[in-house]
Amino acid sequence: MMRCDLTLAWKNLEHHAQAFAGFDLRTAFEQDALRADRLSQTAPHVFADLSKNHLDTATESLLQELARETGLAAHRDAMFRGERINTTEDRAAMHWLLRQPEGSVQGALAEPLAQVHATLQPLLAFAETIRADAQITDVVNIGIGGSDLGPQMAVLALQDFVIPGKRFHFVSNVDGHELAAVLKDLKTESTLFLIASKTFTTLETMTNARSALGWYKAQGGCDVSRHFAALTTNVAAAAEFGIRTTFGFWDWVGGRYSVWSPIGLTVAIAIGAQGFRNLLAGAHAMDQHFQTAPLEQNLPVRLGLLDVWYRNFLNYTSRSIAPYHSALKRLPAHLQQLEMESNGKRVDRNGHALAYGTSPVLWGEPGTNGQHAYFQMLHQGTDIVPLEFIAVKKPTHNLADHHELLLANAIAQAQALMLGQADEGGHKHFPGNRPSTFLLLDELTPASLGALIALQEHRVFVSGSVWGINSFDQWGVELGKVLAQDIHARLASGHVAGLDASTAGLLKRLR
């Protein structure tokens, strides 16, 4: 694989970006009647309009050339062959295998796939048992990062499919306020705690799990095997913790890619076994698209390359996500981890410092709320922030007017960003020519959500691959964890020797 900044395409893209300085979306549409068609495409469950982005046909062909020169297709194929592409942890990245139909791969992957299904069946059977158990009214997922954000996002997104009569809670923070607020409304006999942790060592999750177990016993609970289950690759640690019901999985599932694994049990209980299978099937359809569609008509590839173009050639350092569906309110948080933990890297796969930028900052809120908060900056601020709209055609409520108003606002915002308003000067001037992508789902279902999330996973793979980084490790989270142990001990002892003056000062104040 050639380093992206050493390719000919990179040089050509640099020249192209200079010539592109005068690019204006309004002129681009005037000059090319087919622009909207050429820069739109369908992928499984998702229609994407890329035409309001700062790119043209030449940009796309140069980006495609960059993909070829950096060996994107070969790297993608290596992932789908189960090669150990996560080199710093010496692991494969096979989250996609979790959504692969039973018996559908041959060779070396046949055995891991058989294990996937041998795990999925009892997991879904357990989910159905809990659904049928009227005595269990509260399910509490205790986990953090990928063991929280994916399941939480999906349960919220699929609220229309969620079984009535059960409440789903998510406790992630080590801040005891969060667990305390959940516990105060629970009864031992009607609660199921799911301890979701790939490693079963994460400080926050272990602290919350211990406190939940302590609370359960203190309230007189004596059937831990019925009221606690563990979702982890570290089955031994779960057993040591005292949990008998454990659903295991494999180190080749990254935390932020784990909603498809037993970590998704909360989702399976919420939407049922068939719903969960539909979620997997939607994601699998997107996997196939990513694997087989020509790169020019491959949506994750086009989005990932657009991310590279924006980050490295137009210097747009962030991307905003605006889901125009209130049920997708945790989607920006999930995508934040997906993009920033995967691609927030400063060295290449061999550990050499990079001479170019990587992950953009991701942020966002559901529309129309964002319009009344920070869209001001998107329209008139000094920075250009590409905005990604995600809209859903069919609502599931029957409140007259609301959905059309919602969709009208989404379209109008994309239009306003692009068109601007030239005839008013000063404070009322809108420069326009501000880029956006519009993703559209027909309906928000388990299948379409699965496809949407898999699309985002693969677009992150694409930009990470071009950048030559390892998108599947996360060494940057380790230092803080180690220092927190030291500070924790110092908070108890009061020893400040060897600390910088600021840290010592804060510690003294907090004791």
Active centre residues (catalytic) = 341, 372, 481
User: Which of residues 59, 202, 261, 463 is near ligand F6P by CB under 6 A?
Assistant: 202
* Least Å from the CB of residue 144 to ligand F6P: 5
* Least Å from the CB of residue 471 to ligand F6P: 12
Distances, alpha carbon 256 to alpha carbons 107, 224, 333, 412, in Å: 27, 28, 11, 33
Question: What share of residues in the chain are helix, strand, coil (percent, to 5)?
Answer: 55, 10, 30
CB closer to ligand F6P, 139 vs 340: 340
Residues 6+ apart with CB under 8 A from 24: 433
Contact string 420-459 vs ligand F6P (x = CB under 6 A): ----------------------------------------
Please give the helix or strand (H or E) that residue 364 lies within, else none. strand 361-364
Q: Reduced to 3 states, what is the DSSP secondary structure of residue 135?
A: coil
Give the DSSP letter string of 54-82. Answer: S--HHHHHHHHHHHHHTTHHHHHHHHHTT
Contact between residue 208 and residue 147 where contact means Cβ atoms under 8 Å apart: no
* Least Å from the CB of residue 57 to ligand F6P: 39
* Least Å from the CB of residue 147 to ligand F6P: 4
Contact between residue 219 and residue 190 where contact means Cβ atoms under 8 Å apart: no
Contact string 316-355 vs ligand F6P (x = CB under 6 A): -------------------------x--------------
Between 72-80 and 57-69, two packed helices, what is the crossing angle to 10 degrees?
A: 60
User: Which of residues 144, 183, 270, 410 is near ligand F6P by CB under 6 A?
Assistant: 144
Phi first, then psi, for residue 191 (nearest 5°) are -115, 140
* Least Å from the CB of residue 221 to ligand F6P: 24
Stretch that binds ligand F6P, among 33-41, 195-203, 217-225, 350-358 (CB under 6 A): 195-203
Contact between residue 63 and residue 307 where contact means Cβ atoms under 8 Å apart: no
Residues 6+ apart with CB under 8 A from 483: none
CB closer to ligand F6P, 197 vs 359: 197
Stretch that binds ligand F6P, among 108-116, 143-151, 279-287, 441-449 (CB under 6 A): 143-151
CB closer to ligand F6P, 144 vs 335: 144
CB closer to ligand F6P, 256 vs 330: 256
Distance CA 227, CA 69 (A): 54
467-506 binders of ligand F6P (CB under 6 A): 474, 477
* Least Å from the CB of residue 341 to ligand F6P: 6
HSE at residue 37, side-chain half, CA atoms within 13 A, is 3
Q: Strands, E, within 10-56: which ranges?
A: 40-43, 46-49
Longest dimension (CA), the chain: 74
* Least Å from the CB of residue 242 to ligand F6P: 18
CB closer to ligand F6P, 110 vs 477: 477
Tell me if 198 contacts ligand F6P by CB under 6 A.
Answer: yes
Stretch that binds ligand F6P, among 83-91, 93-101, 199-207, 217-225 (CB under 6 A): 199-207
Distance CA 31, CA 38 (A): 13
User: Which of residues 44, 145, 151, 420 is near ligand F6P by CB under 6 A?
Assistant: 145
CB closer to ligand F6P, 69 vs 473: 473
CB closer to ligand F6P, 147 vs 368: 147
* Least Å from the CB of residue 273 to ligand F6P: 23
Distance CA 449, CA 459 (A): 15
Buried/exposed code over 174-211 (b: 16+ C-beta within 10 A; e: otherwise) = beeebbeebbeebeeeebbbbbbbbebebebbbebbeb
User: Which of residues 146, 264, 360, 464 is near ligand F6P by CB under 6 A?
Assistant: 146
Q: Name the residues that contact ligand F6P, by CB under 6 A.
A: 144-147, 197-199, 202, 205, 255-256, 341, 474, 477
